[in-house]
Chains A and B, each alone.
Chain A
Amino acid sequence: MDNTPTSSAADRFPAGRLAFPHRDLTGIGQLERHEILYLLDQAAQWVELNRQRTKHTELLSGLTIINAFFENSTRTLLSFEIAGKRLGADVVNMHAAQSSVKKGETLIDTAITLNAMRADAIVIRHGSSGATQLIADKVDCPVLNAGDGQHEHPTQGLLDALALREALAQQGRGSRDALADFTGLTITICGDILHSRVARSNILCLQAMGASVRLCSPPALMPRGVEAMGAQPFHDFDAALDGSDVVMMLRLQSERMAGQFIPSAREYHHLYGLTRERLKRAAPDALVMHPGPMNRGVEIDSDVADMLDRSIITSQVEMGVAIRMACLDVLTRSARGVEGWS
């Protein structure tokens, strides 16, 4: 498989810092289309590296990256940790699992503490929307949002775009060109849209890349104003699936299935579970995505999740490491004195 971009980035994107002028990555909402494409393009080389036996460079050698996770996470934390280590950085994980007590001033104090330890990049996950921005305003180094409350999870949006572009190219429906986008594609995101930062980052990212986005959930889990964001809301999953080129299922938190939002898990599966039968309503080669971790048998059936030709769920995980490497590389270029980036 050829993962080299068909054109070099140099002649397709603005030079140096102009290609990505942000100090932090707090959300897809802050990015222009060409900046998204630039990060995807930069990730391609790391996809390649990650498939070699020796998955290591010294690009970020000597830099300290702190993964400050105020909310439990296994996959995202692991992905960021691997990304930092493969780039040669010193990676430190800080688990500060949140108690129910409001830890606000502690959050600012933590930011100031991390700053005083002279981190070169800080990756934040926090349970409150806007927490990453709050920390970014208080520190001197780049801050990457690894998920803040129900606001955004930008690297998830980017990795989904990368995985999707790769899969479309493999199917012969798209290309690996640095400027290839999703124009003409209909993508359905189904699940707990209301509480999902993954959904928000994906709506923004996929639309910026030209796709039309459908959202599907029961009314209680559909936020207001999604039409104003350009997305089309559905409550009937079959109707939403009709003609969709991609189906992205979201995880439904178990506490939401106990009667507050949804009567039961099996009732949710009855209305919104992606089964092999339901998938037939989508376009013939429709791709299936899920940000993980999956509730098999609830929002997605195992035989759909494991379909080799349609499910790109494991590719999403693979692209995640590459995307995070690209983000860490790009955001630290200024500090590393890379030509054109200071």
Chain B
Amino acid sequence: MKQARPLTITGGKLVTPGGVEAGALRMADGLIEAVGADVSARDGDEVIDAKGKLIAPGIVDFGVFAVDKPAFHFGGITRAALMPDQSPPLDYPSRVNYIAKSGKPDLWVHPLAAATRGLEGAELAEIALMRDAGARGVATGRKWIADSGVMLRLCQYAAMLGLVVVAHAEDSGIAGEAAATAGEVATRLGLPSAPAEAETLALARDIAIAEMSGARVHFRQVTTAAGFDLVRSAKARGVSVTCGITPAHFMLSDLATADFRTFTRLSPPLRSEADRQAARAAIADGTVDVILSGHDPRGPEDKRLPFADAAPGMAGAETLLAMVLGLVRDEVIDLGRAFDLLAANPARLLGVEAGALEVGREADVALIDPDAPWFVDRTKMEATADNTPFDRQGAQGRVRALIKGGVLVEL
């Protein structure tokens, strides 16, 4: 749906790359036309009074496993980069093309092409054809590519094509069938576990490959203290690596798995409390570039199982914003950085003109009441499944209105 007439949001607090300021935002022809303190509505504009609430960019959720529009809209997400781990996998241009159109007009889905055929980690998929069919990046999927030769050739190829490589950083030889991080909790529960160093090893190799190939490598999730150290030092050397994290890994530690609750079965698994603290520090100091929902709705057939038999994953789209606003309230980051992590950085990785309230960008905007209190209740979720690890926890921050391409989305 094209924007029929200009829309102006007045009387809000604008979250812009330059900082947070009181002002208004005017959108026309699907783009941001004006933003700032001196902007006002013109005759004929549709006008929304923000009543002092935040006017922020729509969230760009980098690396989800399902297109789940109601949950995304509840969470203020206007764009989502979809992982190739679909059934069948996104390893074929026509599938990518289909997915790229699937959410429009009120949700844009950016497919991440499968790096290898069938996500098997062996043969390169038709990455250039998939790029031209709409893929915005190429991803290894839920798993690491164990063969270093394949990973190197993938990165060289993706570098040539200008596509970001989205990698899963978990050494598969060490991780095996692990369902938990090795440590006291996993030992007490008797869960198959792998040492947290499975992540360190994978990162070290893939950083070296990024350096060799010149590819932009984005680690979808980094979750350990040692892992953040590797990314931090690689960035300092000028290596083109970035990384993300989900709220689960900065809100919860492996203690949350102590009652075999399968909603806390994630990939990578929840880590130690020390790693959780390191994650918050890495978010604060700029090591982390992206906070993503990791949205992966799973029904009872995948989750009402013994812990190790359950599928990993959480329904995270609805709680992403509130958890990040929690970091702002805890003074880990400020509001501007929060939306860099949620929108501007992922948009830049995908190469889309969105993710920030700047003139000329796509008019994807969320109107947010940052303090509105609510309870996460798995029985009342918008997502297609209820597997949230934050059930019955208090949260603050709700989306009051959402605009995609200048058009108001029905919530």
Please give the residue numbers on chain A whose beta carbons come within 8 Å of chain B beta carbons, in ascending order. 29, 102, 104-105, 107-108, 126, 128-131, 133-134, 148-152, 197, 200, 223-226, 228-229
Contacts and interface: CB of A to CB of B under 8 A. Distances in A.
B328 to A, nearest CB: 34
Interface stretch (B62-70, B135-143, B304-312, B318-326): B304-312
B193 A130 contact: no
Interface of B: 182-193, 195, 259-260, 300-301, 304-310
B358 to A, nearest CB: 48
Nearest to B182: A224
B386 to A, nearest CB: 16
Contacts of B260: 129-130, 133-134
B305 A225 contact: no
B304 A105 contact: yes
A99 to B, nearest CB: 13
B82 to A, nearest CB: 26
B184 A129 contact: no
B266 to A, nearest CB: 16
A226 B306 contact: no
B306 A105 contact: no
A223 B192 CA distance: 10
28 contacts: A102-B309, A105-B300, A105-B301, A105-B304, A105-B305, A126-B306, A128-B306, A129-B191, A129-B308, A130-B189, A131-B306, A133-B259, A133-B260, A149-B190, A149-B308, A150-B191, A151-B189, A200-B187, A223-B186, A223-B187, A224-B182, A224-B186, A224-B193, A225-B186, A226-B187, A228-B184, A229-B184, A229-B188
Contacts of B191: 129-130, 149-151
A224 B195 contact: yes
B187 A197 contact: no
Contacts of B185: 225
Q: Which 4 pairs of residues, A with B, have the shortest CB-CB distance?
A: A225-B184, A104-B305, A128-B306, A130-B260
B188 to A, nearest CB: 7
A128 B307 contact: yes
Contacts of B189: 129-130, 151
Contacts of A131: 306
Contacts of A129: 189-191, 260, 306-308
Contacts of A126: 306
Nearest to A108: B304
Given A150-B191, A197-B190, A223 B306 contact: no
Contacts of B190: 129, 148-152, 197, 200
A108 B302 CA distance: 12
Contacts of A152: 190
Nearest to A104: B305
B192 A150 contact: yes
A229 B187 contact: yes
Nearest to A102: B309
Contacts of A148: 190, 306
Given A104-B306, A150-B190, A225-B186, 17 more contacts: A29-B188, A105-B305, A126-B306, A129-B260, A130-B260, A130-B308, A133-B259, A133-B260, A148-B190, A150-B191, A150-B192, A151-B191, A152-B190, A224-B183, A224-B195, A226-B187, A229-B188
B307 A130 contact: yes
A225 B183 contact: yes
A256 to B, nearest CB: 14
A201 to B, nearest CB: 10
